[in-house]
Each structure stands twice: as structure tokens, then as C-alpha cells.
């Protein structure tokens, strides 16, 4: 029961944008690499 409550709490926070969704995160990126469809830089 406590796990269900924690999951519900996490999902509510994610909907409000207060935490990242599972598998995602916010990060500062200072560079970019463009790849072709073949994987070449």
C-alpha cells in the first residue's frame, strides 16, 4: 500500500512538472553533435 501511495505521489509531481518523468532528466547541454542517418558525424 505504501508503494502505491509513493507511485501516485511521484506521478502527481511529474504531471505538475516538479520532477522528471521516469527515464528523462533536465540537463544543461553546452554542445551539439549532428549525426547522419548512417551514424557519421
pLDDT of residue 31: 92
> What is the per-residue pLDDT across 11-40, written as a single tens digit (0 to 9) for each?
999 999 899 888 888 889 899 999 999 999
- In order, the DSSP letters of 3-39 are HHHHHHHHHHHHHTTSSPPTT-------------TTS
State how far the Cα of 15 lies from the Cα of 17, in Å rounded to an integer: 5
pLDDT of residue 32: 93
26 within 8 A of 20, measured Cβ to Cβ? yes
State how far the Cα of 21 lies from the Cα of 26, in Å rounded to an integer: 10
pTM: 0.53
**Does the pLDDT at position 9 exceed 90?**
yes
pLDDT of residue 21: 83
Amino acid at each position: 500500500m505504501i508503494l502505491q501511495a509513493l507511485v501516485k505521489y511521484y506521478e502527481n509531481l511529474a504531471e505538475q512538472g516538479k520532477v522528471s518523468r521516469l527515464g528523462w532528466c533536465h540537463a544543461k547541454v553546452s554542445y551539439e553533435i549532428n549525426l547522419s542517418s548512417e551514424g557519421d558525424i
